[in-house]
Amino acid sequence: DGGITQSPKYLFRKEGQNVTLSCEQNLNHDAMYWYRQDPGQGLRLIYYSQIVNDFQKGDIAEGYSVSREKKESFPLTVTSAQKNPTAFYLCASTKGGTYYGYTFGSGTRLTVV
């Protein structure tokens, strides 16, 4: 079955280290997204990509970087510049254009100690 795979489900890192979260989809979707969730807040957009080799900053991109070298993969790197990296991270995808159905990963909970 097609879907989005986020791995790992739980991730622990030491402060000051960069960490890369994986997001892979086999849906042939053009658009992919990364969101962050903090306690008591709605999910907020970090980065998105509408097409391979292109991506745009979302509302809270500072301290994060992404790449989109392949259609099926959209990894997110949490850099040491991100002041509060501990959060839940969600990846999503959609066909793009005027299509409005999204598919969601199950998420990765990152804890920085």
User: Which spans of this chain sit near another protein (rule: CB under 8 A)?
Assistant: 9, 31, 33, 35, 40-45, 48, 50, 56, 88, 90, 92, 94, 96-107, 109
Q: Where on the phi/psi map is residue 100: left (φ > 0), alpha (ψ -120 to 50), or beta? A: alpha
Chain-centre distance for alpha carbon 3: 15
Q: Which C-beta is closer to another protein: that of 75 or that of 107?
A: 107
Q: Which C-beta is closer to another protein: that of 29 or that of 64?
A: 29
Q: Which C-beta is closer to another protein: that of 16 or that of 41?
A: 41
